[in-house]
Amino acid sequence: MADGSRSTYVLVDGENIDATLGTSILGRRPRPEERPRWDRLLQFASDHWDQPAVGLFFLAATTELPMAFVQALLAIGYRPIPLSGGPGEKVVDIAIQRTLAELRNREADVMLVSNDGDFVEHTSDLLDGRRVGLVGFGEFRNSAFAELTVRGLESFDLEYDVAAFNTQLPRVRIIPIDEFDPAQFL
């Protein structure tokens, strides 16, 4: 930031979150009311670490730019990063990995929004004293991230911690007994 204050960079792997939501949780394409409210994520990051949050939303745009979505992201404060590449190239993963590597050279904290194990090594490299968070769906998070929690990686659930959804998702999770409410199941 220009005033010298520290920031949290929020890197969103839109493809991974969308695929997990649609394929693994809902079993179909999410309806608009079932999609995350991305503005809540930025607010969560800002509030949780008490500093400005800069949202970078990575998306594959190989044939055309999804202008309505890009405009919506801009309106809520994200910097959309539409990417293209060759056949079979995981452009979003490549761009996020490069961004994580570049962030090692900056005094900033990071929240990565993905369940993808392709980012474990780059996330590990950032655990050098800065705050690093992983946001996604706990039951679908790559298990290799669990090893990083002893080094300080914080994990947040997009639904339960961030409250990014307007509707309750049909998820099955282990419920701590202190959170169990039988009314939710009757």
Give the integer Cα–Cα distance in Å for 169 and 151.
31
pLDDT tens by residue, 140-165: 999 999 999 999 999 999 999 999 99
**DSSP letters along 61-88, please?**
-SS---HHHHHHHHHTTEEEEEE--STT
Give pTM, 2 decimals. Answer: 0.91
Give the number of other Cβ atoms within 10 Å of residue 45's Cβ. Answer: 26
Query: Which residue ranges form the domains of the chain, and what is each CATH number?
Result: 8-170 (3.40.50.1010)
pLDDT bracket for residue 172 (50, 70, 90) = confident
pLDDT tens-digit series, residues 38-53: 999 999 999 999 999 9
SS3 1: coil
**The two three-digit tokens of residue 136, written as one number:** 């996604």
